[in-house]
Amino acid sequence: MATATLPAELTDAVRDERSLRRFLHGLPGVDQVGVEQRAASLATRSIKKASKLWAIDTAISMVDLTTLEGADTPGKVRSLAAKARRPDPDFPDTPHVAAVCVYPDLAATAVEALAGADIAVASVATAFPSGRSSREVKLADVALAVSAGASEVDMVIDRGAFLSGRYGQVFEEIQAVKQACGDAHLKVILETGELATYDNVRRASWLALLAGGDFIKTSTGKVSPAATLPVTHVMLQAVRDWYTATGELRGVKPAGGIRTTKDAVRYLVAVREVAGEEWLTPSLFRFGASSLLNDLLLQRRTQLSGHYSGPDYLALD
């Protein structure tokens, strides 16, 4: 993102390393007790029965259906794409998911399998999940994903550089990846479980937004803890404040550890209350939680039929 599009105060913030450090450390500190209490309070909110099906369908439409294992095969990706298209074949009105996320070498397979569907192909890149490689290798990783047809790229930041205070290095790398993405959307993975403090989460969120990230994402799903409600609150505050400052809408993606419909509803409540209703759309909020989809589908059947369908009645692969 060209800094010329930023308001003057944000353009000044990214002028050089010293300015960037001053800006990030000048952000208001996060009240740890306050954010955890608010997250816990919102998590107790209940949804009226009439809204339950809407919440389930909305959550399904926000899922990035993901396989990121060393044993992944083209056949597994094609099966995943079929499930992305028709999550519950017995209920054809079930919404499709937002995206299928794979490694770069399998992006072309996903693109082919999803041809004609309004489902994005996302690919992790930049030496996922560690981020430990040269910039040249990271950019080659991005180029591989984009050339294969990925319309979204999920990059990981260099947490070592960030925690060492080398903010300019992280900023420049995100900018370089954004440029390499071309028309593909960029999700910037902060790996919040390694950032240690909410203040660091806020700084990393703003750093990613300043550098041009279209989404900020909590986690790779390979580190514990992954997504948590308080951390997601801090990130939602960041995109809300970014919108207030710039008029630009940016997205948030919690990933890892979100497994039940009850969990998903808690996150949707947080989105509405912390950021705003504008963010209740797959273009601005995603779930990186493939196992979540199975529970959403089971609960959807329960809402429609009035009785619980066990997992034996639904293909979970």
Catalytic residues: 154, 217, 253
Rounded Cα distance, 261 and 52, in Å = 10
Rounded Cα distance, 219 and 224, in Å = 9
Token digits for 293?
A: 């989809």
Question: Residues 207, 167: contact at Cβ < 8 Å?
Answer: yes
Rounded Cα distance, 138 and 239, in Å = 26
Q: Could you count the other beta carbons within 10 Å of the beta carbon of residue 176?
A: 16
Rounded Cα distance, 278 and 271, in Å = 9
The gap from C-alpha 2 to its chain's centroid, in whole angstroms, comes to: 23
Rounded Cα distance, 90 and 275, in Å = 35
Sequence-separated (6 or more) residues with CB below 8 Å from residue 230: 35, 36, 39, 198
Q: Could you count the other beta carbons within 10 Å of the beta carbon of residue 303?
A: 15
Rounded Cα distance, 41 and 86, in Å = 35
H-helix segments, the chain: 8-13, 17-25, 32-42, 49-61, 74-85, 107-113, 135-147, 159-163, 167-181, 198-211, 229-246, 261-270, 290-305
Rounded Cα distance, 137 and 223, in Å = 22
**Closest by alpha carbon to 203, among 236, 231, 238?**
238
Crossing angle of helices 261-270 and 49-61, rounded to 10°:
90
